[in-house]
Structure 1
Amino acid sequence: MILVASYNMRKAIGTDRRRRPERTLDVLKEVGADVVALQEADRRFGARLSAIPPHLIEEHSDYKPVPFDARDGSLGWHGNALLVRKDVEIVDKELVHLPSLEPRGAVLADLRVDGEELRVVGMHLDLSGLWRRRQAHAILAHLANRSGNPPTVLMGDLNEWSVAGGCLRDFGVHHRFAPCGRSFHARRPIAQLDRIMVSEGLEIIESGAHQSATARKASDHLPIWARVKRT
């Protein structure tokens, strides 16, 4: 089985308004996923450096970033990043351009986790429902045109307040949603903005939102997780 997680880490700024990247890593350690999709992983202004210094990831976690090399000092692309356990093999990776009025993108990696092939897409979709649906279509079209057909996990902050409409309807045509529950706002979750979706070939064993005391302070979103296995 493979444990995946998605976390809008809010640039490592907690609900106490303090930037503490070590606390973000503490949350990831609590979750213990094999693969993590991060959103808002880079600082917003200036050089947009990684909100978690790379040496902290190397020295104080069991993870390594998928090296997209899109911007010097950045952990990912447009704030999206993928972390994988150090023993996970990174077979391939790609940036996925998304239509938007402001810079948006998704990140994709083909991985081998404990000998199992897995394709992972991390995303942070627009606040506008119209653009969210266009971005969903772009991601789905990219997957349809990409070579190979490994089991796929899509995850991230979809910014979709609807329970079943909008971009959820688009993704739901060929993907199933893990019932992770509400993840925003971290102190009192009222919305399922963060989602994990899986393609055919994967079974969702269990899932949820991680609600530790540290997670409730580390970001305004709770991390979500799902345990999946090949069918």
Structure 2
Amino acid sequence: MEPEFQTALRIASYNIRAGLGTDLRRDPARTLRAIAALKADIVTLQEADFRMGARPSALPRDLLRDMTGLVPVAGDDRSLGWHGIALLVRPDIVAQDVHRLDLPSAEPRGAVVVDLLSALGPIRVVGVHLGLLRRSRRRQLDYVRDFIGGLAPMPTVIAGDFNERSTRVGLGRIAQDFTILPAARTFPSTLPLLPLDRIAHCDQLQVRMEPVPKMPAPHPSDHRPIVAAVTARPMAGSRRPDPPHSSPLPR
């Protein structure tokens, strides 16, 4: 492992389809085992709550921490998240500010913006689940970017289901301020063809995509998760210390 990633945070994103697997069985315990297997410090979930009525959590709260070691920070007493977008963190990571956004769309869409205090220091994680239409996604990314721009500067990661099929077009506006990492194909989970799930980051961070543990069949969701390692970018002018020089052995 490169030295700069030895203390990295693992950040994952996973659209869990409210615990509905590819066998069309709703199995929350199976979903929790899949989340635990990611071994992430921070996880953004999409479709973590049911859509109807009071939007109750699709995952049992009493098992969440026991099975994953994570706690939710963006929900309320009924919902795990906001518009189904939840943010789970290790208990030693502290949520300092939580913003719940209603995104412009003909369909209900939202985002969560959470300022965290972690082992890396302050970090802002934005969880998104963008719309089905490209014009809607562009408006939503503009809205998220403008909202973040109005906050105090902080190292930022955006993660979630971007619902964008193309790796070349459709997300250009967010690319003005963020690096969008190369996308793996995550949908459908049984035979991934489309790179719908993405991670983007600001220039204060170094981020690299990580291998994802193999999920047992039937898959816990119709999406596959993504995982990235996140660390601070060295300040300009700084460099790693030179390795110690070895003295020649006496003859």
Answer whether TM exceeds 0.5 for this pair. Answer: yes
- Paired with 2:178 and 2:86, the residues of 1 have a C-alpha distance of 22
- Equivalent position to 1:113, from 107, 118, 141: 118
Name 2:238's counterpart in structure 1: none
- Paired with 1:94 and 1:68, the residues of 2 have a C-alpha distance of 11
Summarize the alignment of residues 91-110 of structure 1 with structure 2, pairs less than 5 Å apart.
91-110=96-115
Unmatched runs of 5 consecutive residues or more in structure 1? none
Q: How many residues align?
A: 226
Larger helix percent: 1
- Equivalent position to 1:151, from 149, 155, 161: 155
Percent same amino acid at aligned positions? 42
Q: CA deviation at 1:46?
A: 3.2
Runs (4+) off by over 3 Å: none
User: Judging changes above 3 Å, is the alpha-carbon distance between structure 1 residues 216 and 230 closer, same or farther for their aligned structure 2 residues?
Assistant: farther
- SS at 2:11's partner residue? strand
**Letter of the structure 2 residue corresponding to residue 151 of structure 1:** P
Q: Is the 8 A contact 1:215 1:223 kept in 2?
A: no
Name 1:58's counterpart in structure 2: 65
What is the TM-score when the length of structure 2 is the normalising length? 0.86
- Paired with 2:64 and 2:73, the residues of 1 have a C-alpha distance of 12
**Letter of the structure 1 residue corresponding to residue 93 of structure 2:** V
Q: CA deviation at 1:115?
A: 4.7
User: Judging changes above 3 Å, is the alpha-carbon distance between structure 1 residues 205 and 161 closer, same or farther for their aligned structure 2 residues?
Assistant: closer
Q: CA deviation at 1:136?
A: 0.6
RMSD: 1.5
Name 2:190's counterpart in structure 1: 187
Unmatched runs of 5 consecutive residues or more in structure 2? 1-7, 234-251
Q: Deviations over 1:66-115 (max 9, x none)?
A: 0443xx41111111110001111111111122101121110011001115
Q: Is the 8 A contact 2:74 2:82 kept in 1?
A: no
What is the TM-score when the length of structure 1 is the normalising length? 0.93
Name 2:55's counterpart in structure 1: 48
**Which one has a bigger Cα radius of gyration?**
2
User: Judging changes above 3 Å, is the alpha-carbon distance between structure 1 residues 216 and 4 closer, same or farther for their aligned structure 2 residues?
Assistant: farther
- Equivalent position to 2:179, from 176, 181, 206: 176
- Equivalent position to 1:165, from 138, 163, 169: 169
- Equivalent position to 2:226, from 221, 224, 228: 224
Larger strand percent: 1
Q: Deviations over 1:41-68 (max 9, x none)?
A: 0112233210001111133220000044
